[in-house]
Amino acid sequence: MKDISEIINEIKQLSTNLYNTDFLLTWEKSHDELKQILLVAESLKYLRDNNISTKVFDSGLAISLFRDKSTRTRFSFASAANLLGLEVQALDEEKSQIAHGETVRETANMISFLSDIIGIRDDMYLGAGNAYMREVGEALDEGFKKSVLPTRPGIVNLQCDIDHPTQSMADLLHLKNYFGGLENLKGKKIAMTWAYSPSYGKPLSVPQGIIGLMTRFGMEIELAYPEGYGLIPEIIDNAHIQAKESGGSFKVVNSMEEAFTNAYIVYPKSWAPFEVMKTRTELLNINDKTGLEKLEQKCLAQNANYKNWECTGEKMKLTKNGEALYMHCLPADISGVSCKEGEVEASVFEKYRIETYKEAGYKPYIIASMIMNNRFEKPDKILEKLVNTNKLRKLK
């Protein structure tokens, strides 16, 4: 990693508009803005690794709202908030007035009087999660405009139905450091592939997040899935456009083996078919519990048809170490001894376990960077102040 002064100087050269701006989708951000998120994350990691305080808030809340189960992202958000000096307050909707009919507008304002950031995971239903985050944002805009709120808290997308930006940005930072710079990603092939898992209804946002971000950096992306497991069409179209603009390529194939051939990076991940997720949302909206149960059984049976879809491990080639870098957003389903029973063979996961841990370890710093860039107009100045304040402090 570069020296902290070099990283800060790089930040100074960028032109960005991240201050007071929610982070909802990576493809809404410019190249400079994406780079700044990475650089501030690297700066915070450097300071933390060298025992230099990163407390930039004296008080304030970071509101945590998870509408789906989570381990890594939940703890990454809490770690990021603590790293910067904020206190995390989890919003449990079942224990709030939301359960009694409180509106989104009311809730958004009531939790925001002394809050600086709101992290939201809402990834289960197509057409709902990202829309909910934007509805919260509109309520906060009104609250601030009408002087209800002293400041307008920022929103960080901790995973929605469309994108998983904190995951894909952590993945990008992992790739940047693994290959020695963003410029070294150009021309490298990444295989984003569907993988069998004996579970139902996993969101589309991880593969969509990967193709929506990595196509910005001149990489050769191959998205592989069995017939019927396509993603949101608009995101596929956008990936084609971005790949062309960046000098890379984007291709959809129906063979894991084809996608893996000559790949530098492989990313196996289970997800539900787009049409299934769309139907699921429709059934939810009419509260059709019987229909949801039948849909689940249908989806599980459909998944089972692809237990023998090409397994990971044999086609990984052509990296600096002679093998592809295995990536996963974690946790991988390795309950079986072969990938016919889970997303990846246990032996493959074990071989790349430390690298996937490192991959996951960047997420707290990415989230902290998103928070810091939202709350401070000149993060480079804040970082310089932290360094100068602690320059006499003994390092580890």
Residue 320 pLDDT grade (very low, low, confident, very high; cuts 50, 70, 90):
very low
- Note whether 343 and 205 are same-domain residues: yes
- Note whether 128 and 12 are same-domain residues: yes
pTM confidence score: 0.92
- Note whether 51 and 199 are same-domain residues: no
- Taking CA atoms, 66 is separated from 71, 94, 155, 162, 165, in Å, by 11, 12, 13, 16, 15
Checking if the pLDDT of 368 tops 60, the result is: yes
- Note whether 151 and 275 are same-domain residues: no
The pLDDT value recorded for residue 335 is 47
The answer to whether residue 343 is domain-embedded is: yes
Q: What is the pLDDT of residues 203-219, one digit of tens each?
A: 999 999 999 999 999 99
- Return the minimum-mean-pLDDT range out of 3-7, 193-197, 389-393: 389-393
- Note whether 123 and 258 are same-domain residues: no
Stronger pLDDT, 365 or 288, i.e. the higher one: 365
The pLDDT value recorded for residue 298 is 86
Look up the CATH number of the domain holding residue 239: 3.40.50.1370
- Note whether 115 and 55 are same-domain residues: yes
Question: How many CB atoms within 10 Å of residue 76?
Answer: 25
Task: Say how many domains are in the chain.
Answer: 2
How far apart, in whole angstroms, are the C-alpha atoms of residue 328 and residue 335?
A: 15
Give the domain range for residue 123: 4-161+363-382
- Note whether 329 and 371 are same-domain residues: no
- Note whether 116 and 175 are same-domain residues: no
Stronger pLDDT, 367 or 262, i.e. the higher one: 367
Name the strands in the sheet holding 249-253, side by side, starting at the edge strand that comes first in the sequence.
249-253, 220-224, 189-194, 265-269, 325-326
Checking if the pLDDT of 167 tops 50, the result is: yes
The pLDDT value recorded for residue 312 is 47
- Return the minimum-mean-pLDDT range out of 1-5, 153-157, 359-363, 367-371: 1-5
For residues 85 and 53, the answer to whether their CB atoms sit within 8 Å is no
- Note whether 152 and 48 are same-domain residues: yes
